[in-house]
Structure 1
Amino acid sequence: MKKPLYTRSNWPIAAAMINFPGVLPDGTRVFDQTAAEWAETLEDVVDAGFTELDPTDSWLRIADLSEARLQEFMDVVHSKGLTIPAISTSRNNLICPENGEANLAYAHRVIDTAAKIGATSVCFGFFGPLSDAQKQALWFWTVPNPPVSEDPEEWKLAVARTQELGDHAAKLGIEVALEMYEDSFLGTADSSVKFVQDVNRPNVGICADIGNLVRLHRPVEHWATMIDKIAPYAKYWHVKNYIRTEDAVTGAIMTAPAALEFGIINYRAAIRKAMEYGFNSPFLCEHYGGDGLSVAGTNRRYLRRILPRTRAQD
């Protein structure tokens, strides 16, 4: 059955759990918390105005929970009036030499878990853990990553593994979004489009997280040009925004996180462009710095305001 077109009243807009640590100050893993402790955290999500969340595996790897513990977690989710439309992975590079195969196996478990809990989207990437220098910086994106590999065999491996995941997901009615991220195979709009074209699976597209690029302290393509290129391939979309200023005389570039409606990316225009190509996937609200969850809640309200009241079926 064809999925109905979302409107502002029912569009899934999830809270990202990036603002919550996966390991608590006392060394306790969220993975090992009790249901009551999970519930306490999810109450914050509800209080921020959300009715959906993405567990985000930097907080909790639900794909690694036992069947009983997964059911326990979902009972907590539902008891708080929440649903999970999508599952994102973070920094589990599918082709890194050290643990790429393990990350691939984990990605398959994410797909299976998504199907079990009724999620319709998953998100994967080709970027790895933060370096020590990035962890120590105020904003980790101000410290460069290693340059993206130019080895054609690594590109082929990434394409093949994504095809494998896409085929698995398609059997379960799930879409795969690949996250745009600097110095990765999806580090520019052009490379992102080429990659998904090489994968050539209808359920595999781009997580159009251009916020990851406009925040860089280096020259980047204009956000609107990027959106024009990637809009036909947009799937599950991580949204966040940044203030960006460029000094044409000195070449200095500075950025800082901003609420969706106040940053350099015009999300009203960007989303409308994607909808011209049939975009009908969930959103994920992210924000770094300060009370990121509250800012994400503000971003959710902004999205509700700008999304269409109605949409005509094809």
Structure 2
Amino acid sequence: MIAPTRFLERLPLLPTRRALAYGCTGLLSLLACALRWLLDGWFPPGYPFLTFFPAVILSSFLFGRGPGVFAGLLCGLSAWGLFIPPDGFAIGPGTPMALGFYTAVVAIDIALVHWMQAANRRLLAERERSRVLAERSTLLFRELQHRISNNLQVVAALLSLQKRGIADVGARAALDEASRRLGLIGRLHRQLHDPEGARIGLAAFLRGLAVDVIEATGRTDIVWTLDADETIDLDPDAAIPLALIMAEAIANSIEHGFGDARPGRIAIRLAQEDRHVLLTLRDDGRGLAEGLDPARSESLGLRIATTLARQLGGGFTLGPAAGGGAVARLELPRG
């Protein structure tokens, strides 16, 4: 079944088969004449065109202006010859006025239908142009994101190469961290930016991020779990800051909690509490170093996580977990 809107978009019908269109128009005119003949006894004098107007309008609507004019001529002649006294195409006192009235009404009806269909064709053409432009914009947007992602990966690789000529341990570590963060942003950038600005399902995003970060460390002895509210979504602009915070928390657990190839577990939980979204990451590693105050730590990773959390309107904390290990907590406003 064709939807009404789709049907209207296809009008006029039979644009390449005009002989058939005119034949259908003639049939409609004949049916209108037959109906007027059958109902003649029911109509009072003065209604010769009553069944012919719908035939003209319907012909114009279905088949276009030419068939509409053709229907107007056929119906006008039928009414004049059969239903306007005196019969047989004679001209009586009221004949010119009746035919003039009929001609004016039919002309207006055909013109209105024609203008409506012309406007509909222009609308369809504009819609098609908009569709083509939208597809082109989407393609260009994705190509741009692809190039940005590749460039970030190249910069990360250059930093990794640069460290080979540096003997200072601290400088090498700083370049390693910068390379890792840029590489992470590059890997995530392509999937985070949608040309339509759609929000991102946070549970699926965290699931993919955890896999990516842990695989990047090369550790196969880390078991991780995710307990997440699947209904929570995320604005695309917040995705990369949140990804960096999450990556820092996972990297911190692996580096400090599970160093020296110590196996362990990481439990990630995502939930809504009051007006906030709470993301916690708990590990069963060695816990925080003795005397470490996360709030005053000089660790670049912790400072980055804290700063990014503030930019998102939330807060990030790191502390000891009950029963051993450490727990990182990110609290964001629900938006």
TM-score, normalized by the shorter chain, greater than 0.5: no
More helix by share: 2
TM range (shorter): under 0.3
Using CA pairs below 8 Å that are at least 6 residues apart, which structure has the higher relative contact order?
1
TM-score (norm 2): 0.23
